[in-house]
Structure 1
Amino acid sequence: MPLSATPQSLDASNLRDWLDGQALALGFHGVRITDTHLGPAAERLQEWLADGRHGQMEYMQRHAQLRSNPELLVPGTVRVICVSMNYLPPETDFDAEWQRLEDPTQAVVSIYARGRDYHKVLRNRLQEFAKLIEERIGKLGYRVFTDSAPLMEVELARKAGLGWRGKHTLLLNRESGSTFFLGEILVDVPLPIGQEIEVHCGTCTSCIDVCPTKAITAPYQLDARRCISYLIIENPDAIPVEFRKAMGNRVYGCDDCQLICPWNKFAKRSQLPDFAKRNGLGQATLLQLWSWTEEEFEQRHEGSAIRRIGYSRWRRNLAVAMGNALANGVEVSAIAEALSAALPSADHLVTEHIEWALGQKARSA
C-alpha cells in the first residue's frame, strides 16, 4: 500500500526531478503543475461564448461553468498536473506540406490526425503516470483527461508553465513549437506548483496573416465559425459557400497557422509509432479517398480521430476539395465522373456539395 504524502515526498525540487524522469519514460515531453484558479480566463471564455464565436459547439456553452472551474468538474481537486506529448512523425517536412497544399489533386489531412487517435494514446499513459505518482507520494484522488472533458486545457497548461499562448490561441514553447497534445491529471493533493513563462511572439503576426478564412480576428482572438478545422470537423451541416474556396484541398483539419509559425522550426519529432501516418494519409489523392466505401472508411479509420466525423461529413469535405480541383482545371474528367457517379446514392448533405463541386467545373470551362 502506498504511504500517505509526507513533506519529503512533496519537496518541490525532489518531486520536480522525479516527475520529469517518469514523464519522459512514459513518452511525455513536458510536465508542470498548477492550481485550479483560472481568473480572467474564465471571464474571457464567457465573453467568447456570448459573442457566439463557438459556432455549433453547444457543449462549450452547456458546460461553461465546469470548464471555468476544475473543482466543480471533480470535487476535491486542488491541483492539475499538465503534460504535453509531441506528435510530429520523424519524416515530417514543413516545406513538403506547403507543396501538398499547392497541389489540387492531393487530399490534405492535418498532421496530428494521420496516426492513431491521440485520446487513446495519452489516456492510457496518463493513467499509468497517475498510479506512479500515487506510489511515490501516497494515496490520492485523481482523474485523467485529454481533450475529453470540459476543461480549459490550454489555459491550465499555460498557467502551469508548459508554454505561452500564441496569437493563434494555441500553446507554444521553445522546444516543441505548438505540435504537441495536452493531457491533465486532476488531483486532491497540494503538490508544489510551477511558474508561468514569458510570451515570446513579439511583433510576429504570421499566423494571423496566413489564415485562409481570417478566423484569427485579432491577436489571441479566434472565431471558430470561420476556422477551417471547425468547419470540417465540428460543423455538422453544410460548409458555408463563402468558405469553400478557401478550404482548398484540406479534407480534415488545417495546419496553416502552425506550419508558418517560426517556433515550429524547432519542433521536436516524436518517436512514438502511434503517431506515424496510416492508410497513406500523408500522400493520398482526393480520388483515392473518394473511392473508399463507407465500410472501408470505418475499417481504415478504426482507432483514428477522423472516424468520429462519420462517412457523410468525410464525403462532404472531399466533395468541396474536388470542386476546388475542378475550378483549377485539374483532372476534370476523372473528378467530374467520380462525383457524378456518387450522386444517385448520396445523402442530402453530400448531394448539395457534389452539385456545388460540379458547378465549379462549369465556371472553370
Structure 2
Amino acid sequence: MAQDKLEHRLKAKAAELGFAACGIAHADAAPRAGERLHEWLADGRHGDMIWMEERKHHRESPAGLWPEVRSVIALGMSYAPKDDPLRLADEGGVGRISVYAQGPDYHDVVKRQLKALGRWLAAEAGRDLPPFDLKVFVDTAPVMEKPLAEAAGLGWQGKHTNLVSREHGSWLFLGAIYTTLDLEPDRGGVDTCGSCDACQTACPTDAFPRPYQLDARRCISYLTIEHAGPIPHEFRAAIGNRIYGCDDCLAVCPWNKFAASANANLAFHPRAELVAPELADILALDDATFRTVFAGSPIKRIGRDRMIRNALIAAGNSGDPALVEPVVELLADEAPIVRGAAIWALARLDDLRCQAERRRLLPREADDSVVTEWTCAA
C-alpha cells in the first residue's frame, strides 16, 4: 500500500461513508480568504455574530487554528431536496423552514462521519507512514470551509458566497479534516457562474451589495437564526412566511439541475412535521414543547423565543384572520421580542383589535423595545 495510492483509497472510503465529494488542498491553498474575512468584518457585515470577530485569527487560515497542519481534506454531503424549496412561498398559513433544517442536525451527522474517516485514515496511513495527527471540523469551528473546499476542487464559491458544485449544485454540507500528512492536492475549483445573477436577484432583502459579497445583516437566514433582538421593520414584510432560514438564493442556482434529487442521502430525510408546519401550531409552543418538537434538530439551538418571533412575523404577513387570536395571546408573553413581534403581527392582521389592545396593554409595558412597537403600531 504505497503512499501515492493513499489519496485514492481515502476518497473511496469517504464515498463509502456517505460523502458525495472529497478533495485535498495544501493548508495554505486559500491565501486570500483571510484578507476577505478581515474586510467583511471591518465593514460590520457579520452583524451580531461576535464570535466571527473574536476568533478571526483562528479562522483566517488553517495554520492560524493549528500551526502544524500541512493538508486539508475537504468533504461534502449532499442534501439536495426532493421538492422545490420555493413552492410554499404563497402558502400564508404555513411556515417555511430551510431545507437543511428539516431533518436531523447536520452537524452531528457530518461530524460523526468525519470522525469515522479520520479513524480509517489513522489506521490505514499508520501502517506505512511515520506518526501523524489530524483534526476534524464542521462549520461550528473557526474554519473557512468554503474557500478550502474550492481550493480542494469540490466546486467554487458562487455569487451567493456559498459553494457551488457541478455535480451537486448549491446543496452540500461541508466538513474538513486537517492533518499533518503531506497529501497530494487536487486541482482547485473554477468559477463557472459566468454572467448569471439569479441568486442576486432572488434575494428578498438585497443582502448582496455586490456579487460574491454578503451583508449578513440583511440576510433572512441571519435575521431568523443568528439575530437575537427584534427583526428590523424594513425586512419584516420581505421575510414572508420564512420562519427559519432562507433557501431562495440557493434554490434558483442553475447548477442545481445536476444535483441528485429525491433526498438520495437518507441521513437528511426531512421530518414530515417540519416540511410545512402550520403557523398556529408554532405560535402555541411553550419552551418545553418547543424543545420536544425540535429535539435533534438544528432549530433547537435558537430557542423558543426566536422561533415564536419568526412565526409572528410570518403570521403578520399571512393575511390569515384565523391567526388573530393566537397572536393576541402572545401580547402578554414573558419575552419582549415575542411581545414586540406580536404587536406588529396584530397591526397587520387586525388594526382595530390592535388599537384596542394597545389602550389596554401599553400603560403597563416596561420594556422600551415593546413600547416602541406599540408606538409604531399607533
TM-score (norm 2): 0.89
Distance of 2:335 and 2:229 partners within structure 1: 12
Contact residue 199 and residue 250 of structure 2 kept, 8 A: yes
Which amino acid is 1:238 matched to?
Answer: P
Instruction: Give 1:117-128 correspondences, 5 Å limit.
Output: 117-128=105-116
Shift of residue 99 of structure 1?
2.7
What are the Cα deviations for residues 6-53 of structure 1, in whole angstroms up to 9, with x where unaligned?
xx6321xx2333122101110001111111223122111111110001
RMSD (CA atoms) = 1.6
> Does 1:17 pair with 2:8?
yes
Gaps in structure 1 of 5+ consecutive residues: 1-7
Distance of 1:225 and 1:62 partners within structure 2: 18
**Aligned with residue 354 of structure 1, among 331, 337, 342:** 342
Counterpart for residue 242 of structure 2: 250
Which amino acid is 2:204 matched to?
Answer: P
Distance of 2:184 and 2:258 partners within structure 1: 29
Gaps in structure 2 of 5+ consecutive residues: 354-378
2:67 match: secondary structure: coil
Counterpart for residue 362 of structure 2: none
Which amino acid is 1:78 matched to?
Answer: R
Distance 1:341 1:199, change over 3 A: same
What are the Cα deviations for residues 170-203 of structure 1, in whole angstroms up to 9, with x where unaligned?
1011110010100011101111111112211111
1:281 match: secondary structure: helix
Contact residue 69 and residue 179 of structure 2 kept, 8 A: yes
Distance of 2:346 and 2:18 partners within structure 1: 46
1:31 match: secondary structure: strand
Distance of 2:185 and 2:253 partners within structure 1: 29
Counterpart for residue 360 of structure 2: none
Counterpart for residue 190 of structure 1: 182
**Aligned with residue 145 of structure 2, among 146, 153, 161:** 153
Counterpart for residue 32 of structure 1: 23
Shift of residue 364 of structure 1?
10
> Does 1:312 pair with 2:311?
no
Number of aligned residue pairs: 347
Which amino acid is 2:145 matched to?
Answer: E
Contact residue 10 and residue 192 of structure 1 kept, 8 A: no
Shift of residue 279 of structure 1?
5.1
What are the Cα deviations for residues 95-151 of structure 1, in whole angstroms up to 9, with x where unaligned?
xx3230111112100000000000100111111101111122114211111112111
What are the Cα deviations for residues 278-313 of structure 1, in whole angstroms up to 9, with x where unaligned?
251112221122223321110121111000000000
Distance of 1:290 and 1:362 partners within structure 2: 17
Shift of residue 272 of structure 1?
3.5
Which amino acid is 2:327 matched to?
Answer: L
> Does 1:93 pair with 2:102?
no
**Aligned with residue 340 of structure 1, among 307, 317, 328:** 328
Counterpart for residue 135 of structure 1: 123
Distance 1:136 1:364, change over 3 A: farther
Instruction: Give 1:1-365 correspondences, 5 Å limit.
Output: 9-11=2-4, 14-37=5-28, 38-89=30-81, 92-94=82-84, 97-138=85-126, 139-269=131-261, 270-278=263-271, 280-326=273-319, 331-332=320-321, 334-362=322-350
Which amino acid is 2:297 matched to?
Answer: S
Contact residue 87 and residue 181 of structure 1 kept, 8 A: yes
Distance of 1:309 and 1:243 partners within structure 2: 19
Distance of 1:287 and 1:34 partners within structure 2: 48
Distance of 1:190 and 1:357 partners within structure 2: 57
Contact residue 41 and residue 53 of structure 2 kept, 8 A: yes
Distance of 1:71 and 1:251 partners within structure 2: 37
Contact residue 9 and residue 136 of structure 1 kept, 8 A: no
Distance 1:16 1:141, change over 3 A: closer
Distance of 1:279 and 1:294 partners within structure 2: 21
Which amino acid is 2:83 matched to?
Answer: D
Counterpart for residue 370 of structure 2: none
Distance 1:364 1:84, change over 3 A: farther
1:183 match: secondary structure: strand
Counterpart for residue 5 of structure 1: none
Contact residue 251 and residue 314 of structure 1 kept, 8 A: yes
What are the Cα deviations for residues 238-267 of structure 1, in whole angstroms up to 9, with x where unaligned?
100000000000000000011111111221
Distance of 2:42 and 2:136 partners within structure 1: 29
1:129 match: secondary structure: helix
1:222 match: secondary structure: coil
Higher mean C-alpha displacement, 268-277 vs 301-310: 268-277
What are the Cα deviations for residues 153-179 of structure 1, in whole angstroms up to 9, with x where unaligned?
101101111101110001011110010
